[in-house]
Amino acid sequence: MSAPIVCFVGKSDSGKTTFLEKVIAELRGRGYRIGVIKHDTHASEPDRPGKDTWRLRRAGASRAVLSSARYLSLVEEVEEELPLEEIVRRYLPDVDIVLTEGYKRSAYPKVEVCRAERSRELLCAPGELLAVVSDLRFDLPCPQFGLDDAGGVADLLVERFLRRPAQAPRRVSLRVDGRPVPLKPFIQEMLAGAIRGMLGALHGGKGKRVEVDLEEE
């Protein structure tokens, strides 16, 4: 089953990116895995002109992957914009919740950020709103939070969408020729995610403890 999706929306310079950063940090601190999607209505070029991946795509590659010990970046050309749920299904299959910046026209619940100095009117209709974050007060039935209350919004998301306990951090140990090799947390997460992803396609691949033995001739 796909993760729940909540859209953070607001007018330009309303502070929605800053607020979303704080909410992500709050949820991450509580042990949840968060996927985030930024909606670009201008169809900007995501790759930097002149970079190797940009040049290779210009040469004819429909997909370009940049891989390193810490990050994996994918740039893929599409003929039309993918539906939000399809993006989540393809690229965010193992997160607890997906938070977006943008997608104000989607049918998903929305948290609107509204700053008085930018606008005194909301973009969304009352029925679309999960919550409002603002230094103003509105006559609405949904919860309303101050511009600094990321913790309150995180509490709301947990209550509405994440009632089950957050997944405990995954522990991965590695031994090479019997010698333990220390792994930083992000390496453990990367290995665990890759292995769990492959096991998900196999019959009998689910379980709490997984052992992998690799021998080279």
Residues 173 and 116 in one domain: no
Residues 105 and 200 in one domain: no
Across the range 13-38, mean pLDDT stands at 93
Does residue 46 have a pLDDT over 60? no
HSE at residue 183, side-chain half, CA atoms within 13 A, is 19
Residues 34 and 100 in one domain: yes
Residue 23 located in a structural domain: yes
- CATH code for the domain of 122: 3.40.50.300
Residue 115 located in a structural domain: yes
User: Cβ distance 195 to 210 under 8 Å?
Assistant: yes
Proportion of the chain above pLDDT 90, given as a percent:
38
A 10 A CB-CB count for 87 gives 17
> If you compute the radius of gyration of the chain from its CA atoms, what whole number of angstroms results?
21
Range of the domain at 199: 169-217
The total of structural domains in the chain comes to 2
Q: Taking every pair of C-alpha atoms in the chain, what is the biggest distance, in angstroms? A: 71
Q: Any idea what DSSP says for residue 217?
A: -
For the chain, the average pLDDT equals 83
Does residue 105 have a pLDDT over 80? yes
Identify the residue with better confidence: 34 or 1.
34
Across the range 38-66, mean pLDDT stands at 69
Amino acid at 40: D
DSSP annotation string for 149-182: -HHHHHHHHHHHH--SPPPPPP---EEETTEEE-
Residues 38 and 108 in one domain: yes
Q: Which of 131, 161, 191 is the last residue of a domain?
A: 161
pLDDT value for 108: 93
Give per-residue pLDDT as tens, 139-186: 999 999 999 999 999 999 999 998 765 555 567 888 888 788 887 766
